[in-house]
Amino acid sequence: MINVSALLETRDTPGHIAPISDGHPTSATRPTSLTDRPIVAWNPVARCPNRCRGSILTTIQAKRVLDDLAAFAVGTVIFCGDDIWAREDLIELVRHGSDRGLRIHLANDGTRISPSRAVGLAGAGLRRMGIAIDGTPETHDRLHATPSAFHDATSALNRIRRSGIPCAVNFTLQRSNAQELSAALGVVLRHETPAFRLHHSVPFADPTHHSTVAYETRVEVLRQLFAFAMAFPEVEVTTTNNCFDGVELAIWIAHSNPRRAHRIREILRTQSAQTRPKSGHITLLHGCGCVHPDHYSADIVLGNIHEESFSAIWQERYSEWLSARRLRDGALDTRCARCPELGVFGTMRPEGMPQRIMRGNPDWALPTFV
């Protein structure tokens, strides 16, 4: 996650990677080193795409998972998915996780967030809410297959803000809405939302690449976003799923502020050299209990928490999977290996994006050589 606002120094936000987690769990079993503790993105109602037979976790089972995550010193759990309110115990789970010292976030399309639910989430200790706004009302409704989706999302933003929960607008960039960033940014300003997140579509989630945005279009969108971050420092602007965004920011700012561009590259290079593969890593947990190594690899299952705890799965299987992937992927392909910016973002891209995805999607990286 690249914190554009921090790199531009438009606000007092330390570091270039947005602090989803404060990195200081309150669990009494907190280990001496937290660099290998992932952020857990948990869709509590969806099954994974692997046709597994695991049943959806009960309330008691879900609470046991939260207990295990807290004991394992996982800092942040993000309950995600547009259908998460299918779980009537969602607020109960948020409260249970918060009571165990976990930072609980929610991310969905904002539907079914009534005033009472907004108040309930605040009382349960929810730390942050991300609500999807994916363009104009017409485009957003079409993408979410609900006639009132845009209205529901903006209403949810107001309710969450009034409840006192920090909120963010999440915009997933894809081919069908690449020209509509300004509509989402307009919602941010009209509803006084303190944060904006641009998410690049993950290529593996769309094997036909129908949602993938051409590189030139993506750069245009990013430059529009960078200009917004400069003009509205009260809004924290971040991007996810493409670490090269930091380099694009340095390229963009170089024309008006070469010293700032140099400073951005220094920050990125330092962070790249210090980042261990599992630091700040986001892993996926589906409602059926399947644990996936990252959000690029939903087809790979490390284990199932019906059979063993998350902490055991992570400690025993993740390093083994990562080592096997490195051996399988081998060196960077020719295009990536010759990138003059490789030293700037270093291991952040290779560790976060398997080569099988890069090879299957020629528009994903395509850096601007300067």
Whole-number average pLDDT of the chain: 82
Residue that wins the pLDDT comparison between 47 and 144: 144
d(CA 40, CA 295) in angstroms, rounded, equals 10
Q: How confident is the model at residue 29 (pLDDT cuts 50, 70, 90)?
A: very low
Cα dist from 254 to 259, 268, 312, whole Å: 8, 15, 47
Global pTM? 0.85
Give the span between the Cα atoms of 54 and 358, in whole angstroms. 31
- The two structure tokens encoding residue 104: 């609980």
- Between 206 and 83, the more confident residue is 83
pLDDT value at 24 more than 60 = no
Q: Tell me which of 251 and 363 has the higher pLDDT.
A: 251
- Taking the C-alpha atoms of residue 208 and residue 210, their distance in angstroms, rounded to an integer, is 5
Q: What is the mean pLDDT of residues 5-28?
A: 54
Please give the pLDDT value at position 350.
40
Condensed to tens digits (0 to 9), the pLDDT of residues 211-259 reads: 678 888 999 999 999 999 999 999 999 998 887 899 899 999 999 999 9
Name the strands in the sheet holding 167-173, side by side, starting at the edge strand that comes first in the sequence. Answer: 2-3, 236-240, 195-200, 167-173, 128-132, 103-108, 76-80, 39-43, 282-286, 290-292, 303-304
Point out the least confidently predicted range of 167-181, 222-236, 286-300, 312-326: 312-326
User: pLDDT: is 292 or 24 the higher one?
Assistant: 292
Beta carbons within 8 Å of 35's beta carbon, 6+ residues apart: 276, 278, 279
In tens, the pLDDT along 113-145 reads 999 999 999 999 999 999 999 999 999 999 999
H or E stretch including 68? helix 59-71
Q: Does the pLDDT value for residue 330 go beyond 90? A: no
pLDDT, average across residues 55-74: 95
Residue 266 has pLDDT above 50, yes or no: yes
> What Rg do the C-alpha atoms of the chain give, in angstroms?
20
pLDDT at 34 over 50: no
Q: Tell me the β-bridge partners of 39.
A: 282
